[in-house]
Structure 1
Amino acid sequence: MENDDLIQIGTAEYKRLATAMVMAGFATFSLLYSVQPLLPEFSTTFGISPENSSLAVSLATGPMAIGILAAGWLSDRIGRRTLMIYSLISAALFGTMAAIAPTWESLLLLRCLSGIALAGVPAVAMTYIAEEVEPATIGPAMGLYIAGSAFGGMIGRL
C-alpha cells in the first residue's frame, strides 16, 4: 500500500478500523475466558473435580497459542482481514455449540476448536494494523486493540 492509501487518524476509515480492532480484541479474549466463571458449575454438572474443570480454559488457551504459529502463514494466503473475520465467526459457532454440549468430552473438544479458531486474531491483528494505517497512527491503533483484548479478558472472567 502506498502512503497515500494508508488510513489516517481522524478519518471515518480510522474510526471503523479502531472500532473493529477494539471489538476483535474484546471478542477474542472474552470468548477465550468466558467459561472461567462456570468452572464450579462444570464440576457439579459433569461430576468432575475442580482441577479437571479447569481444562475448559486450558484446552482453549493452549491450542490458541499453538494455532498462532500457523495463523501467520494462513493470513499470507487468504488475507489478514479475512482470517480475522473467519476466526471470530468460527469461534463464536464453536462457543455456541459448547453451550449445548451434552458431555464433558464434547465440551472440551469444542473449547479446543474454539481456541484454534481464535488464534487467527492475535496472530495477525497488529500486522494488519501496521499494514493499513499511516506510521504515526500505528501506536494508537495498536493500543486500542490491546485495550479491547484486556477488557475482553476481564469481562470474560466475570
Structure 2
Amino acid sequence: MGEASYILGIKMYRDRSKRMLGLTQSSYIEKVLKRFKMEHSKQGLLPMRHGIKLSKKQSPKTDEELKRMSNILYASAVGSIQYAIQCTRPDVAYALTITRRYQACAGEAHWGAVKSIHKYLKRTKDMFLIYGGGELILEGYSDASFQSDDDDAKSQSGFVFKLNGGVVAWKSSK
C-alpha cells in the first residue's frame, strides 16, 4: 500500500532521516481561491489589516446592498477558511474569528475582510506546519484583548501550543 502522501486534502512531506514531518494544504487553498474567484487577485501581506474595525453597523441597510450581498457566498467562504484553520493554518484564526461573527448580516466591509484573508492565503499557500525530532520541548502562548468587539463589548482571546516548534493546538475565540 505504501506511505500516505495526502489525507483529507492535506499534503504530507516526510524526511525520516531528520525525523521531520511537514503538512500543507496548498492544493486545497488553490481550490478555495478558484471557487471564490480570487486566484488572480493580488497577494495579501497580512490576514487582516491593522486598525480594521468590523461591526454590525456595517451590515447592509438598503435593498440594493442586501441584494448585492445575497449573491455573495459569505458563509461558504468563511467555512472554507475554517477548514484550513482546523488543519494547518493557525495563522489566520484570529482574522476568521472576527469575520465569522457577521455571517447573518455580512456587508461589503465584512466581505472585504474575508477577501483579505483569501489574499493572504494566496501569498502563503505553500507554508507548512513542520514537526521535527529531537528533545521534546513544549511551548505555550496566549493573548487577550479587553472588549474588542464594538457590538457587544466582549473580549477576544487566543492560544497556541507548540511541540518541538510545530503547532499542535490553537484557538481564537470571543
Considering the TM-score relative to the shorter chain, is it more than 0.5? Answer: no
Q: Which has the larger radius of gyration?
A: 2
TM-score by length of 2: 0.27
Structure (1/2) with the larger strand percentage = 2
* Greater percentage in helix: 1
| Larger relative contact order (Cα-Cα within 8 Å, sequence gap ≥ 6) | 1
TM-score (norm 1): 0.29
